[in-house]
Chain A
Amino acid sequence: MQYLITIKNGRVTITVQNVAGAGCAGKSLEFAQLLGGKVETTEHTEDYYAQVVATTQATVKGQ
């Protein structure tokens, strides 16, 4: 599995690149939790699943 981690203004965005659907979001969330995070908000659409995590300033995206 491959993650793209983007760090901008001290905020971390985690995107899983090759897992589909909610499983992917779960994996992103798992990584965010390793960073020490907690979920702040969750967004979920048909083809896009994103979870915003307030951790080490992390935002999690799964798609």
Chain B
Amino acid sequence: MSEYTTVQTEITDADILRLALQDIGLAFEEANVEACGDRNSLSLVGYLGDTRPQQVQFAIRRRNLGRLSNDIGWAWDETAQRYFAYVSDYDTHLPNVKQVVEQVAQRAAYHQVIKTVSEYGMMVESETVTPSGEIQVVVRTF
């Protein structure tokens, strides 16, 4: 059994994280915070089908990641006031799992920028994605 390790993120907003997860196109589950009274109420499941003690707010189930993968999850850290990701130690060596975590961070950063631009009345002039995946946004203020 591979232990879960935590990966710190800079994501502080559930809406931003949800948008980022939607962008990467893999099915995910979200805890029903109102019903459970706790943000982290989804249990993660390991590759043998064993339920792990780690509980999260957002989870991508292993069936959407690969035959040998464990679930990936994002849990709210009340003390740090941000999310961290739970990734199985074994899965950190799998390119697809590493890519998912990195893509979520990339898309979350993008949505944070767009949200800030919108909130402060700035205007997006152009958006470009380079072949390497870098996003370039030109923003104008008045």
Contacts and interface: CB of A to CB of B under 8 A. Distances in A.
How extensive is the interface on chain A, given as a class?
10 to 19
Contacts of B112: 12, 35-36, 56
Interface in B85-140: 102, 105-106, 108-110, 112-113, 116, 119-120, 122, 125, 132-140
A3 B10 contact: no
Nearest to A10: B105
A8 B132 CA distance: 9
A24 to B, nearest CB: 13
Contacts of B133: 8
Interface of A: 1-12, 31, 34-36, 55-57
Interface of B: 10-12, 102, 105-106, 108-110, 112-113, 116, 119-120, 122, 125, 132-141
